Amino acid sequence: MADKIHGPVEQQVAAMGSELFEVGLYDPNAGAGKSVMIPRVWDAETIIKSIPWLRHQNCDGRNIYIRPKGEHDLSMVDDLTADSVSAMKKAGFAPAVIVETSAGNYQAWLKHPGRLSKEVGTAAARSLAEKFGGDRGAADWRHFGRLAGFTNRKAKYLNASSGLYPFVRLIEAAGGVYPEADRFLAGVKSSVERRNAERAGLRERATAVTLGRRGLKSIDVFRTDGRYGGDGTRIDLAYAVYALTNGSSAAAVQAAIRSRDLSHKGNERRQNDYVDRTIKKALTSIERGR
């Protein structure tokens, strides 16, 4: 029995390749005074040494789960069929680890070329789940997957005649980066950036509405004020001082300044520098005034 557990555990942990792992021992039916989840943070060597204890806990009713510690380079896709796993391979998304959690039900860990941020990691997991028919509800940057070699203790999988639960089987542990990784991640990151830009736009519009409700003047009022002689730089600074003094956010002021054509300031980087300098000058002026 020990060999049947040690082999799959060692292979899965090696293929996942993280420096540290979070191991979760979960029993939703834990009695009074017992924790539903027993968490551990271990390296690969400690996991291997702890197999006897994990096996004891598994026999006592706990499911054994694993995930990388912190931000990492893996995405777990849950609730896959054999056909879905086959489709992943054909499409260039060969998993680093494939685990059969119950008869005909699979989890796949895909390895990316490098560590992903929490935001990109979640977006990647959700995109993979949608693409291959996995469970989107289980798709995020840090979802637990099952550790092979132990039994799946869900009640619905109990064999009534034998009184036994099915073992979680390790199907593959190649451990490599999937071929389509670079192309796929480029699309995911582009979608994240686009979504963030849209959210920023919504925040700016919401701020503009709030400012309007407060009765504050818009930048267009300054642009038509003869005192500034049509000098855009003077207008931008005067508006920034006014708006920031009256509670506007720096992001809203930046958006207002950018509402005119700044191409004469140079490329995008130079335009950004100009807007940033204007905000800093306005804040300095406000501070001096105080």
pLDDT tens digits, residue range 66-82? Answer: 999 999 999 999 999 99
**Are residues 251 and 175 part of one domain?**
no
**Are residues 248 and 105 part of one domain?**
no
User: For the chain, what is the domain count?
Assistant: 2
**Are residues 224 and 164 part of one domain?**
no
Structural domain including 58 reads: 2-179
What is the band of 279 on the pLDDT scale with cuts at 50, 70, 90? Answer: very high
CA dihedral (81, 84, 89, 90) positive or negative = positive
Q: Identify whether 187 is part of a domain.
A: no
Q: Identify whether 213 is part of a domain.
A: yes
Q: Identify whether 190 is part of a domain.
A: no
| Digit-coded pLDDT (tens) for 107-148 | 999 999 999 999 999 999 999 999 999 998 899 999 999 999
**Are residues 224 and 123 part of one domain?**
no
> pLDDT at residue 220 above 90?
no
For the purposes of burial, counting CB atoms within 10 Å of the CB of 89, is it exposed (0-12), middle (13-18) or buried (19 or more)?
middle
**Are residues 21 and 130 part of one domain?**
yes
**Are residues 212 and 122 part of one domain?**
no
Distance CA 282, CA 290 (A): 12
Distance CA 163, CA 165 (A): 7
Q: Identify whether 195 is part of a domain.
A: no
**Are residues 212 and 174 part of one domain?**
no
Q: Identify whether 85 is part of a domain.
A: yes
Q: Supply the DSSP symbol for 151.
A: B
Q: Which of the listed residues 179, 195, 226 is the one where a domain comes to its end?
A: 179
What is the band of 197 on the pLDDT scale with cuts at 50, 70, 90? Answer: confident
**Backbone phi and psi for residue 68, each to the nearest 5 degrees, phi listed first:** -65, 150
Candidates 129, 127, 124; CA nearest to 112 is 124
Least confident of 59-63, 87-91, 149-153, 265-269: 265-269
Q: Identify whether 193 is part of a domain.
A: no
**Are residues 85 and 48 part of one domain?**
yes
Q: Identify whether 189 is part of a domain.
A: no
pLDDT of residue 135: 94
| Digit-coded pLDDT (tens) for 154-193 | 999 999 999 999 999 999 999 999 999 999 999 999 999 9
Q: Identify whether 196 is part of a domain.
A: no
**Are residues 159 and 125 part of one domain?**
yes
| ∠ Cα 239 223 249 (to 5°) | 25
pLDDT of residue 96: 98
Q: Give 113-128 as a 3 state SS string.
A: CCCCCHHHHHHHHHHH
CA dihedral (28, 33, 35, 40) positive or negative = negative
Q: Which residues contact 243 (CB under 8 A, 6 or more apart)?
A: 211, 216, 219, 252, 253, 256
CATH number of the domain encompassing residue 24: 3.30.70.1790
Higher per-residue pLDDT: 137 or 94: 94
**Are residues 174 and 235 part of one domain?**
no
pLDDT of residue 10: 97
Q: Which residues contact 57 (CB under 8 A, 6 or more apart)?
A: 25, 38, 64
User: 107, 101 in Cβ contact below 8 A?
Assistant: yes
**Are residues 99 and 169 part of one domain?**
yes
